[in-house]
Amino acid sequence: MAQFFNQATLSYNNTVVNSNIATGELLEVLSASKTAVDSGYGAGRDVTYIISIVNSGATAFTGLTVTDDLGGYTVGGTTVYPLEYTEGTVRYFVNGILQPAPTVTAGPPMVISGIGVPAGGEVVIAYSAETTQFAPPASEGSITNTATVTGGGISTPVTASETLPVLAGPILSVSKSISPSTVTENSRVTYTFVIQNSGNADAAAADNTVITDLFDPILSDITVSFNGVAWSEPTDYTYNETTGQFATVAGRITVPAATYTQDPATGAWNTTPGYSVLTVTGTI
């Protein structure tokens, strides 16, 4: 609902007289809402959005355009977009019935054109967007994106926004190396496991992170350390010298969260993973 104002001017004999200001009220019959199906976003993941457009009036709207700003924000004088439309994902329903796909311009911003809302009816538009390098990755990060409905005789654009938080949690990977890479029988060798965390939360004891390995050739007389601190069996790990089966005790491996910096010129987020190091040394 919006008010409008109007004033007339009367001119005579070089005299100008203004009328009173007439006030009217324009009942807006078109409304929109926007929701995310997902509870949050993560790096390189798709987010599904649903836009609902309701026409409470007695006249249909045709030729509408829906523009999604894909969460665009300004960094260093440049607009960057934390979301990118996923090609071919738009679904368009009128009163619950699937319609042929509308015309979509990926952008950014993304533009959906040729939308019509029947009198007393509802249109639902669903689509997916993938996060980009401009999506804030830190634990307090969020993306707010806004859809704007224009055209079709609408006097004032209709907008709907949704704010989605970043998903919190560790994202772990592991790499393994051996030193020396060429060994003779009955000599000592060290396996090094580097566990990296590119997520925005620590991998804590409660995450029950475990590394298992079946050493072949089997190691004997092993020593184990984690981040330079000696570990003991069975408190920290278990090892079977008959089979070569090694496993850390659940919860003993912890890895700090990543740190993030945003390039002030390009707006891109850079990730420095947190890491922990497990070493196992034994005789082959």
- Matching residue, tokens 């925005």: 200
Number of alpha carbons in the 13 Å side-chain half-sphere of residue 72 = 14
- Which fold does the domain 25-165 belong to in CATH? Immunoglobulin-like (2.60.40)
Predicted pLDDT of residue 256 = 98
Predicted pLDDT of residue 2 = 52
CB 162 within 8 Å of CB 52: no
Residue range(s) of every CATH 2.60.40.740 domain in the chain: 25-165
pTM of the predicted model as reported, rounded to 2 decimal places: 0.81
Q: ∠ at Cα 264 (258, 265), nearest 5°? A: 130
Give the three-class secondary structure for 89. Answer: coil
The DSSP bridge partners found for residue 247 are: 212, 238
pLDDT in tens, the chain (284 residues): 455 578 888 787 788 888 778 664 445 589 999 999 999 999 889 999 999 999 999 999 999 999 999 999 999 899 999 999 999 999 999 999 999 999 999 999 999 999 999 999 999 999 999 999 999 999 999 999 999 999 988 989 999 999 999 999 999 999 999 999 888 888 999 999 999 999 999 999 999 999 999 999 999 999 999 999 999 999 999 999 999 999 999 999 999 999 999 999 999 999 999 999 999 999 99
Among candidate residues 131, 191, 195, the one with its CA nearest the CA of residue 167? 131
Predicted pLDDT of residue 4 = 56
Number of alpha carbons in the 13 Å side-chain half-sphere of residue 219 = 20
Predicted pLDDT of residue 28 = 59
- State which CATH number among 2.50.20, 1.20.1070, 2.60.40, 1.20.58 fits the domain covering 172-283: 2.60.40
The DSSP bridge partners found for residue 239 are: 246
Judged by phi (left if over 0) then psi (alpha if -120 to 50, else beta), residue 234 lies in alpha
Predicted pLDDT of residue 202 = 97
3-state SS record for the chain: CEEEEEEEEEEECCEEEEEEEEEEEECCCEEEEEEECCCCECCCCEEEEEEEEEECCCCCEEEEEEEECCCCEEECCEEECCEEECCCCCEEEECCEEECCCEEECCCCEEEEEEEECCCCEEEEEEEEEECCCCCCCCCCEEEEEEEEEECCCCCCEEEEEEEEECCCCCEEEEEEEECCCCCCCCEEEEEEEEEECCCCCECHHHCCCCEEECCCCCEEEEEEECCEEECCCCCEEEECCCCEEEECCCCCCECCCEEEECCCCCCEEEECEEEEEEEEEEC
